[in-house]
Amino acid sequence: MDDTAHLYGRSLLTLSDFSPADIRLLLALAHRARKDRRAGTVQQRFAGMSLALLYEKPSTRTRCAFDTAFGEEGGHPVFLGSDDIHLGAKESLEDTARILGRMFNAIQFRGFEQATVEALARLSGVPVYNGLTDARHPTQVLADLMTLEQHFGRLAGLKLAYVGDCRNNIASSLMIGCSLTGVHFTAVGPDQLAPPAALRSQCAPYAAASGARIECGSGTGLVAGADAVYTDVWVSMGEEEQSAERYALLAPYQVNSTLLARTGNPGCVFMHDLPAVKGNEVTEEVFEGPASVVWEQAENRKHTARALLLATLTRNAVQPPTA
């Protein structure tokens, strides 16, 4: 594995902050982290360090992944929910960022605005990791890429069809992650929820360089040939007032056994970032069925979180291979 020293001190706000080669390094580190944890050979590489977990929205996977990946290696994670500190009430984002930067080695943020996580990175002076905003969810997609690689043994040339709300944080980060790593990406959903043109323009040169194809459309026949069908909730956190409209638009895009069969690929896997609303975007049958790799995806949140923390907070992330 190549040295990760050039990643020391870096933030991850959106996946395109990292080059395809950097993503390769992070995935290799994550596979190593998974192996080490299974072998019980976890080290203490974050001893003496602290990580702020700054959350404006709820979380199970992201919070637990960062908290345990950092804490198990001797680091001190501190959870700061929106009611716990003065941010947004008695203290500005700018002042909070500067305080946290003096107390912590890094900040992991979850919240609404992408501008907030960008400001935290600019003003705190420490690495900041985006654990979901309205616009992006890069740490989820690192785990998704790891899961694909684990299952298929490669990324380049696979086809991932994302079905549902194609302009949300998951779909957007998947388009970036797939186009950087050579995974053909197909977004399938209603025209009203199509990926923004600016994102397609941003990803076009990544896809040209990696050999990935990006296609978007409203016909579910576009899933033909997919190696993975991925969906997400119809209503993201913070958009609850749009529920009725979303249900009407997205009902034809439920991932069920008929849609999965349209891939024509018996080896196609089903993916979901979770939490899932079973009966809406996916049927219980598909979610619990043999194609589902959702638990691997969830577990890999922890291994990829550890990889990101190691690469950006330590100078010796690349250790000799485990026995």
**Rounded least distance, CB 168 to ligand NVA, Å:** 5
Q: Which residue in 273, 281, 296, 299 binds ligand CP (CB under 6 A)? A: 273
Q: Does the protein bind ligand CP through residue 224 (CB under 6 A)?
A: no
**Rounded least distance, CB 165 to ligand CP, Å:** 14
Q: Which residue in 274, 276, 292, 319 binds ligand CP (CB under 6 A)? A: 274
**Rounded least distance, CB 132 to ligand NVA, Å:** 6
Q: Does the protein bind ligand NVA through residue 169 (CB under 6 A)?
A: yes
Q: Which residue in 11, 133, 140, 314 binds ligand CP (CB under 6 A)? A: 140
CA separation for the pair 3, 177 (Å, rounded): 22
Residue 60 contacts which entry, ligand CP, ligand NVA, none (Cβ below 5-8 A, type-dependent): ligand CP
Q: Buried b / exposed e across 149-169, counting CB within 10 Å, b at 16+?
A: bbbeeebeebbbbbbbbbbbb
Nearer of residues 101 and 177 to ligand NVA, judged by Cβ: 177
**Rounded least distance, CB 62 to ligand NVA, Å:** 7
CA separation for the pair 154, 202 (Å, rounded): 24
CA separation for the pair 130, 117 (Å, rounded): 7
Nearer of residues 31 and 63 to ligand NVA, judged by Cβ: 63
Query: CB neighbours (10 Å) of residue 146?
Result: 26
Mask: binding to ligand NVA, 55-94, rule CB under 6 A, as x and -? ----------------------------------------
Cβ-based neighbours of 84, under 8 Å, separated by 6 or more: none
Residue 116 contacts which entry, ligand CP, ligand NVA, none (Cβ below 5-8 A, type-dependent): none
CA separation for the pair 273, 278 (Å, rounded): 13
Nearer of residues 55 and 206 to ligand CP, judged by Cβ: 55
Q: Does the protein bind ligand CP through residue 132 (CB under 6 A)?
A: yes
Residue 169 contacts which entry, ligand CP, ligand NVA, none (Cβ below 5-8 A, type-dependent): ligand NVA
CA separation for the pair 162, 215 (Å, rounded): 10
Cβ-based neighbours of 139, under 8 Å, separated by 6 or more: 12, 62, 65, 129, 130, 131, 132, 301, 304, 305, 308
Residue 85 contacts which entry, ligand CP, ligand NVA, none (Cβ below 5-8 A, type-dependent): none
Nearer of residues 62 and 231 to ligand CP, judged by Cβ: 62
CA separation for the pair 286, 270 (Å, rounded): 7
Q: Does the protein bind ligand NVA through residue 273 (CB under 6 A)?
A: yes
Q: Please state whether 175 falls in left (phi above 0), alpha (psi between -120 and 50) or beta.
A: alpha
Q: Please state whether 321 falls in left (phi above 0), alpha (psi between -120 and 50) or beta.
A: beta
Stretch that binds ligand NVA, among 191-199, 219-227, 231-239, 292-300 (CB under 6 A): 231-239
> CB–CB of 223/267 below 8 Å?
no
For residues 44-63, which are near ligand CP according to CB under 6 A?
A: 59-62
> CB–CB of 128/13 below 8 Å?
yes
Positions touching ligand NVA (CB under 6 A) are 132, 168-170, 232-233, 236-237, 273
